[in-house]
Chain A
């Protein structure tokens, strides 16, 4: 009796230990040989796109493949990172999952993903790499040379979005340099609106985009050089960037409440409520130029019965005054990876290939105005897109898409998380009225806390 009990307890303990240590089988890349299928179920997990956008993609996909059922599950950014690993380890993970180039993700989650080279080659032919935009293929390849995520699209940043209605009402112009930005802000604040909204509080790395844009007006090559260790953040250029940020606050361009919270929700809500004239956001903000998506975004920001305003992109002003145009920067936003342990590799391949490499799937991506389509030559079908003010917004967005396609500088791919955090802390110290440190000392601390990236330097 005692012996039986002991054995039972030992069996339970062993089962628990196995469950804890996750001793489950793993499947290798032999799954790469599985052919795409036209029926089955696919689960897709991601932090982006938002569920309504994903549903739109899935609806279009189902028209072409009615026997494949795709179920999408959206997570908040951090939740996604903390959920996906145990899910994949336990063998209960999704068939398809988002995988971006940021923070070494292709090396972290790439080992769970199929090598998609053969799928890309089969779908696009031998010259498949040339048919995908930017450096997206390079950015989504792990350090062991496996192409682990097929890019759905890219994005660019380094420009402003402005509310045309507010600027018109204030009689202000879109700023092009420092002096005109100060002038615009005076006119906008005179009508009781915030000129430029910014959320630089917390740990969010959004403020690094402003740093990057300003750095590009100081010295167009400085940011990437400093990020990859070929220059130092406390070099003359780095100090000048921080000095400009400090001056922008003193002169009323950066608002006094910038450290009250992160960009989302603080700056996003102020802009979408129509309380602020300008905000720095990336290409993904283009979607809110849409007549319907603009309403949803305003409602999400807390506006009841919203009336959409005309929002337009504008180049980041030449705040350094050295005549350097602040060029855009961008990279693959995210791609779709196929779980190598999935039991639905066939339909998953069909879905991923359709979304990322087929004209119809990529057309949907282009029409959502959320990403720059990964497949070269895909542009939005304007006849199916309704903007708030088509005649004003469409030419501006077309120019933005063209300029974004010409981007040669990466956004965060070549910058380590430590360096991004150090930039955020430096900006916070510059903007914090209670910090009594010199710009030189702040830049020195920034350099000390940064770690140079080796990505893309070979």
Chain B
């Protein structure tokens, strides 16, 4: 018998005897398992929470690190952060990045997943092609992306080739397009990730449900919006939370491609924090205050999304119950 992480409400209420097993076995296994994982659990959780608490402590000081003097500044670092226009630019960029990447990820992932579930030749080849961007390290990808988007890069060459010279831009080197470049690079990698989860989610949909829909006269779009999408809602909510957290701590692509520039136009919270710790004057207290703000935003948004998800669930349950009763 295996103990799975995902248990239903009924599992918890009454011991279920599967395959003729003994009902008391599960109760004995749990404490033993707990003993085994406890040291690793204590160290990992200890490290994480220690780091968070220590960051919180540091955020009340002006400190460049090492044995340099720690000067208490009270809420000074938080006040500086909240009055820093770069922080608000970073937050705006985070929201833009999250919304665009999430929408493209779900739409693109859904499109590819639906296509792969239909009978396409060489489906496995396409699957590999879609998933490759997920596994390519940003550090490997960045030089190629710079080559693509720089003033004399691939995009401008293609535009020139097709007589669209008027559209040629210094894509990385101007404030109006640098965020677009970083976001598009994010989309490129995100579609594959969305595809993996949505493809797996679609595999779980009962084919009979779709067949019943078809018999009732539902077309492809009706099936997609009335059967497939509602079934994939938990995955889409998870993707939303994961994407938001990714956007909040985004660092690699913007740093490697634009370093948050020009003039902070593609700045994110991750690049801002790194910039403070990596500068010659190392403002570790200020960087810690920024990290705590990121943490608070991440927790608040995750709780909000979870609560919204539960509200919807409780709102839809009675309706389903009513339908079942009829």
Q: Which A positions have Cβ atoms within 8 angstroms of B?
A: 9, 12-13, 16-17, 20, 26, 78, 81-82, 85, 88-89, 102-105, 107-109, 111-112, 200-204, 256-262, 416-418, 421, 425, 428-429, 431-435
Shortest C-beta distance, A335 to chain B (Å), equals: 15
A203/B261 in contact, CB under 8 A: yes
Scoring B residues 240 to 282 as 1 if CB is less than 8 Å from chain A, else 0, what string do you get? 0000000000000000001111111000000000010111111
List 19 A-B pairs, Cβ < 8 Å: A9-B42, A12-B39, A13-B46, A16-B43, A16-B47, A26-B67, A88-B66, A89-B66, A201-B258, A258-B173, A259-B172, A260-B146, A261-B150, A417-B281, A425-B263, A431-B173, A432-B173, A432-B174, A435-B263
Known: A201-B262, A256-B151, A257-B150. A104 touches B64 (CB 8 A): yes
Identify the closest chain B residue to A84 (Cβ): B66
Residues of A near B175 (CB, < 8 A) are 429, 432, 434-435
A257/B281 in contact, CB under 8 A: no
B42/A260 in contact, CB under 8 A: no
B176 in the interface, Cβ–Cβ < 8 Å? yes
B47/A20 in contact, CB under 8 A: yes
Shortest C-beta distance, B154 to chain A (Å), equals: 13
Q: Tell me the complex Cα distance, A148–B11, Å.
A: 67
Residues of A near B177 (CB, < 8 A) are 434
Residues of B near A416 (CB, < 8 A) are 281
Identify the closest chain B residue to A88 (Cβ): B66
List B53-68 residues whose CB lies under 8 Å from chain A: 64-68
B170 in the interface, Cβ–Cβ < 8 Å? yes
B262/A432 in contact, CB under 8 A: yes
A9/B68 in contact, CB under 8 A: no
Partner of B278, one of A82, A258, A261: A82
Partner of B277, one of A26, A82, A258, A262: A82
Residues of B near A435 (CB, < 8 A) are 174-175, 263
Shortest C-beta distance, A85 to chain B (Å), equals: 4
Q: Tell me the complex Cα distance, A243–B248, Å.
A: 37
Shortest C-beta distance, A72 to chain B (Å), equals: 22
Give 9 nearest A-B pairs by CB, closest first. A103-B280, A259-B173, A202-B259, A111-B67, A257-B151, A428-B262, A434-B176, A103-B281, A417-B281
Known: A108-B64, A260-B173, A434-B174. A429 touches B263 (CB 8 A): yes
B50 in the interface, Cβ–Cβ < 8 Å? yes
Residues of B near A26 (CB, < 8 A) are 67
B38 in the interface, Cβ–Cβ < 8 Å? yes
B46/A108 in contact, CB under 8 A: no
B263/A432 in contact, CB under 8 A: yes
Identify the closest chain A residue to B43 (Cβ): A16
Residues of A near B68 (CB, < 8 A) are 107-108, 111
Known: A9-B42, A104-B64. A259 touches B261 (CB 8 A): yes
B151/A112 in contact, CB under 8 A: no
A85-B65, A103-B280, A261-B146 known; 14 other A-B pairs, CB under 8 Å? A78-B278, A85-B66, A111-B67, A202-B261, A203-B275, A204-B259, A259-B174, A260-B173, A417-B281, A418-B281, A425-B264, A431-B173, A433-B174, A434-B175
Known: A258-B173, A259-B172, A434-B177. A9 touches B38 (CB 8 A): yes
Identify the closest chain A residue to B264 (Cβ): A425
Known: A104-B281, A432-B174. A260 touches B150 (CB 8 A): yes
B172/A261 in contact, CB under 8 A: yes
Q: Tell me the complex Cα distance, A356–B104, Å.
A: 59
Label chain B's interface by main secondary structure.
loop
Q: Tell me the complex Cα distance, A299–B259, Å.
A: 26
Scoring B residues 63 to 80 as 1 if CB is less than 8 Å from chain A, else 0, what string do you get? 011111100000000000
A260/B263 in contact, CB under 8 A: no
Residues of B near A204 (CB, < 8 A) are 259
Residues of A near B47 (CB, < 8 A) are 16, 20
Shortest C-beta distance, B42 to chain A (Å), equals: 6
List B113-162 residues whose CB lies under 8 Å from chain A: 146, 150-152
Known: A9-B42, A259-B172, A435-B263. A202 touches B282 (CB 8 A): no
Pick from B150, B260, B261, B263 the residue with the most CB of A within 10 Å.
B263
Known: A434-B175, A435-B175. A417 touches B280 (CB 8 A): yes
Residues of B near A425 (CB, < 8 A) are 263-264
Residues of B near A433 (CB, < 8 A) are 170, 174
Partner of B279, one of A88, A103, A111, A258: A103
Residues of A near B152 (CB, < 8 A) are 257
A112/B280 in contact, CB under 8 A: no
Residues of A near B264 (CB, < 8 A) are 425
Q: Tell me the complex Cα distance, A78–B280, Å.
A: 8
Q: Tell me the complex Cα distance, A13–B280, Å.
A: 35
B66/A108 in contact, CB under 8 A: yes
Shortest C-beta distance, A149 to chain B (Å), equals: 14
A108/B65 in contact, CB under 8 A: yes
Residues of A near B69 (CB, < 8 A) are 107
B170/A257 in contact, CB under 8 A: yes
Residues of B near A428 (CB, < 8 A) are 261-263
Shortest C-beta distance, A373 to chain B (Å), equals: 24
Q: Tell me the complex Cα distance, A9–B35, Å.
A: 11
Q: Tell me the complex Cα distance, A425–B172, Å.
A: 15
Residues of B near A259 (CB, < 8 A) are 170, 172-174, 261-262
A260/B151 in contact, CB under 8 A: yes
Residues of B near A81 (CB, < 8 A) are 278, 280, 282
Shortest C-beta distance, B255 to chain A (Å), equals: 9
List B12-35 residues whose CB lies under 8 Å from chain A: none
Shortest C-beta distance, A298 to chain B (Å), equals: 19
Pick from B66, B146, B174, B259 the residue with the most CB of A within 10 Å.
B66
Known: A20-B50, A111-B66, A434-B177. A262 touches B259 (CB 8 A): yes
Q: Tell me the complex Cα distance, A425–B175, Å.
A: 11
Q: Tell me the complex Cα distance, A104–B175, Å.
A: 32
Q: Tell me the complex Cα distance, A108–B262, Å.
A: 29
B66/A105 in contact, CB under 8 A: no
Q: Tell me the complex Cα distance, A258–B173, Å.
A: 8
Known: A81-B278, A109-B66. A203 touches B259 (CB 8 A): yes
Q: Tell me the complex Cα distance, A9–B279, Å.
A: 40
Q: Tell me the complex Cα distance, A431–B265, Å.
A: 14
Q: Tell me the complex Cα distance, A428–B173, Å.
A: 9
Shortest C-beta distance, B256 to chain A (Å), equals: 10
Residues of B near A260 (CB, < 8 A) are 146, 150-151, 170, 172-173
A202/B258 in contact, CB under 8 A: yes
Residues of B near A202 (CB, < 8 A) are 258-261
Residues of B near A82 (CB, < 8 A) are 277-278
Identify the closest chain A residue to B64 (Cβ): A108
